[in-house]
Amino acid sequence: MMRKILLLSVLAFIAFSTTSCVSTNQLYSWYNYEDVVYTYNKKPSDKQLAKVIEQYRTVIEKQHGTRATVPPGLYAEYGFLLCKTGKKEEGIRYMKQEIALYPESEIYISRIIKQLEK
């Protein structure tokens, strides 16, 4: 009985300490975005490229945050990466999706698209 109470208390404490400061109501699901993208940009390689593309696809396709939509800049980043790795048409399509989802990005993203289309 005593052990049970102790165990419950510890579990309750862990639950409190992990939820009270860090909000569980995240707007977006990021998965390992920060680490994977940082590592790729630091040392680009074919192996890392595959990982980074997979990461972008996950963030784009599986959003469980409160906004249930793709985070700002993500479509643009993924589109730009596709363009740089030879998939220009598909990349530009993603960049246009960024503008559609976030109209405030239009000035900047359409400037990049123009440069890429040259």
Partner 1 sequence: MKNIITILAVAAMFVSCGSTASFTTLADKYPGMYEEQPVSIVIMPPINQTNHAEAKDYFYTTLYTPLCEKGYYVYSPYLTMELFQQESAYDSELFIEGDLSKFREVLGADAAMFTVIKDWRRNNIGGALTVDIQYLLRSTKTGQTLYSREGTITVDTSINTGAGGWIGMLADMAATAVSTAATDKVVAGRRCNVYVLSDLPAGKYSGLFGKDQKKAAGKEHVTATVR
Sites of contact with partner 1 (CB under 8 A) = 2, 5-6, 9-10, 12-14, 16-18, 20-21, 25-28, 30, 32-39, 41, 66-67, 71-74, 76-77, 80, 102, 104-108, 111-112
Tell me, what amino acid is at 73?
Answer: G
What are the tokens at 64? 């469980």
Least distance (Å) from partner 1 to the CB of residue 32? Answer: 5
Least distance (Å) from partner 1 to the CB of residue 27? Answer: 5
Tell me, what amino acid is at 13?
Answer: F
54, containing H or E segment:
helix 46-61
Least distance (Å) from partner 1 to the CB of residue 35? Answer: 4
DSSP class of residue 104 equals G
Q: Is 65 helix (H, G, I), strand (E, B) or coil?
A: coil
Question: Is the CB of 10 or the CB of 90 nearer to partner 1?
Answer: 10
